[in-house]
Amino acid sequence: MSPDPGERVRASFDGEPIEAEPGASVAAALISTGRTAWRTTREGKPRGLFCGIGVCFDCLVEIDGESGQRACMIPLKEGMRVCSAGGPRGEAAEASETEGGAA
């Protein structure tokens, strides 16, 4: 059974309302609102969706108080509270940054 075409999932990003079709990732919801970056590196460089498959860790956000979540891998859920990240979170992001990776 397909979801109702008018059905939307509602959540928030940094306190502002966002919404998306059921099954859309957090990253897709953010991109659909025109946001292209939602975290910064230690050097203050903006980061957002890059690979879209959970490998690069550029899209990290905080979701419902849990930091280091990959926005491209997590479906947006009703009432979810998503917050931007002020710097890389998790060992993979730190390793990528120190090795000259995408982060």
Grade residue 3 by pLDDT with cuts at 50, 70 and 90.
low
List the structure tokens of 31: 């991109």
Rounded-to-integer distance, Cα 15 and Cα 3, Å: 27
Residue extents of the structural domains in the chain: 9-98
Rounded-to-integer distance, Cα 38 and Cα 30, Å: 8
Quote the pLDDT of residue 85. 87
CATH of 9-98, one of 3.10.20.440, 1.10.10.60, 3.30.465.10, 1.10.287.1080: 3.10.20.440
Predicted TM-score (pTM) of this structure:
0.78
Is residue 90 pLDDT above 90, yes or no?
no
Residue range 45-61: mean pLDDT, rounded:
96
List the structure tokens of 76: 């947006």
In this predicted model, what pLDDT tens digit does every residue of 21-39 receive, in sequence order?
A: 999 999 999 999 999 999 9
